[in-house]
Amino acid sequence: MRNVWLIAHREYTDRVRTRGFLLTTIMIPVIMAGFVVGSNFLGVKGTTDIRIAVVSSDVQLALDLQDELNRMQDQKEQTQSESDASQNMPSAPARQPRIIVDAIDPGPDTKAELDESLDSGDSDGYLWITPASAPGGRPTFVFTPRSNWDVSIKNTLASALDKVLIREQLTHRGIVAADADTMLQPVQIAAPANPHHDDDKSAEISVSVLFFVMYLVIMLYGMNVARSIIEEKTSRIFEVLLASIRPEAMMAGKIIGVGSVGLTQVGIWLIAALTLAGASVALHLGANVYHVSLTLTQIIFFFIYFILGYLFYASIAAALGAMTNSEQELQQLNMFLVLPLLFCFIMLGTLLTTPDSTLARVLALVPPFTPLLMYFRVSLGHPAVWEIALSLVLTSASICGLIWITSRIYRVGVLMYGKRPSISEIFRWLKYS
């Protein structure tokens, strides 16, 4: 145990002192901060209104459309601020871009003029309304946007026009305007915050960010373990070490040392993220978008599953490192490391929508996927206590098994130079040591 600590300690201090560690540890929070501040800056700048020309011989229709658009916009902003209030967050009233309608009578040159204003950027699009040829029929609408890129304008216009036409029909059939308003009022579904299940959007984002961090760090530091074993193989230092300590202790020390560096880094990032979030709330900077919403349980489970996941993949990486002699050879084998992690990544979409589906429940118990997927379920779904316990037991057991296998491969593998072993050779290694 003393030797494990000695190796881990050396590995840790050696790595923490490198320029690369300092750079990534500091740069990533700086980039995060830059991203938050920058997107806020852009967000403030980005709320210019949209100008649309409505060409219609029926001026009333154009005015109704303008009214309807205003009404929709007001409602949207109101619900937005209500939901913010329910999440107990101070929120700067976010100004949404408004659609401003200019009513124009069709003339012989109108189309050419409108096209010209589209090109010059004075207008963002025009809607050409041709009145219905037969009474009672619907007018036809042609919308020419400046760019086809913004689909939302077209959708907003369509739903506004729907309402305008329905309102017109209703008044035609003798319904009072106030009644029509009530009938057309959109339905509101209240979603009070559930104290047991904090599944608002921001929690989802925070948990996803942690998921990415876990994925990245496990992959990065797993590869670091493999790389540092190869490095020791090429520098032949391990032979000196093996003369005084067991290969198992060497490997354990290496995994713990490299892992502690990862934990330090994640810890620093997490602290930076939390301070940053705190600061951004204080500054009212984009608090409605980028606020960190993590419970203590989520953070604790994050670290538990992070450590388990790291141990699992680092043992695989240690075996890969012991089997290979160069970085190039490692590249060919690192799919064993990347594929299961990548699979978890692909499953992220499914888990976000249905964290408690049978598929998710089963996969979260499979040891290679447990660290990432179970963490996700714990944070966003409702796994039973026995499921969490079982996942911890299964993963721990498989880590022990894996370390046993890996240390045998390691023991023989570190002394082998030259050609890469075949599968059958590796099995033979497992038999003797």
Partner 1 sequence: MAVVQLDHVRKVYDTKVAVEGLSLAVEAGTMFGLLGPNGSGKTSSIRMMIGITVPDSGSVSLFGKPFARSSLARVGYLPEERGLYKKMNVLDQLIFLGRLHYIPAAVAEKRARVWCEKLQIAEAIPKKTEDLSKGMQQKIQFIGAVLHDPDLIIMDEPFSGLDPVNALMLMDTLLELRSQGRAVLFSTHRMDQVEKLCDNIALIHRGKLVLSGSMGEIKSSYPHNRVHITFEGDDSFLRHPSIESIKRFPGQADIRLHPSPTLADDAQALLARALQHARVTRFEVTEPTLEEIFIEKVRETSPDTNGPNLSPAQLEEPVGSYLDA
What is the contact surface with partner 1 in residues (CB under 8 A)?
3, 6, 10, 14, 18, 232, 235-246, 415, 425, 428, 433
- DSSP one-letter code for 101: E
CA 91 vs CA 151, 202, 206, 286: distances in Å: 28, 14, 18, 8
Nearest approach, Cβ of residue 20 and partner 1 (Å): 11
For 102, the enclosing helix (H) or strand (E) is: strand 99-104
Residue 290 Ramachandran class (φ > 0 left, ψ -120 to 50 alpha, else beta): beta
Nearer to partner 1, 17 or 172 (CB): 17
Nearer to partner 1, 351 or 409 (CB): 409
Q: Is 295 in contact with 198 (CB distance < 8 Å)?
A: yes
Nearer to partner 1, 59 or 415 (CB): 415
Nearest approach, Cβ of residue 13 and partner 1 (Å): 9
Nearest approach, Cβ of residue 272 and partner 1 (Å): 27
Nearest approach, Cβ of residue 237 and partner 1 (Å): 4
* Three-state secondary structure of 111-174: HHHHHHHHHHCCCCEEEEEECCCCCCCCCEEEEEECCCCCHHHHHHHHHHHHHHHHHHHHHHCC
Give the Cα-Cα-Cα angle 364, 367, 371 (nearest 5 degrees).
65
Q: Is 371 in contact with 306 (CB distance < 8 Å)?
A: yes
Nearest approach, Cβ of residue 16 and partner 1 (Å): 12
- Helix 385-413 with 296-323: angle, nearest 10 deg: 20
Helical spans, DSSP H, in 283-384: 296-323, 327-333, 335-353, 358-363, 370-380
Nearer to partner 1, 4 or 266 (CB): 4
Beta-carbon neighbour count of residue 244 at 10 Å?
Answer: 10
For residue 219, count CB atoms less than 10 angstroms from its CB and return exposed for 0-12, middle for 13-18, buried for 19 or more.
buried
Nearest approach, Cβ of residue 18 and partner 1 (Å): 8
Nearer to partner 1, 188 or 433 (CB): 433
Spatial separation of the C-alpha atoms in residues 365 and 373, rounded to whole Å:
9
Nearer to partner 1, 330 or 414 (CB): 414
Which amino acid, one-letter code, is at 72?
A: M
Nearer to partner 1, 250 or 363 (CB): 250
Spatial separation of the C-alpha atoms in residues 141 and 255, rounded to whole Å:
67
Nearer to partner 1, 66 or 407 (CB): 407
CA atoms within 13 A on the CB side of 411: 17
Nearer to partner 1, 133 or 424 (CB): 424
Nearest approach, Cβ of residue 229 and partner 1 (Å): 13
Nearest approach, Cβ of residue 236 and partner 1 (Å): 3
Nearest approach, Cβ of residue 255 and partner 1 (Å): 18
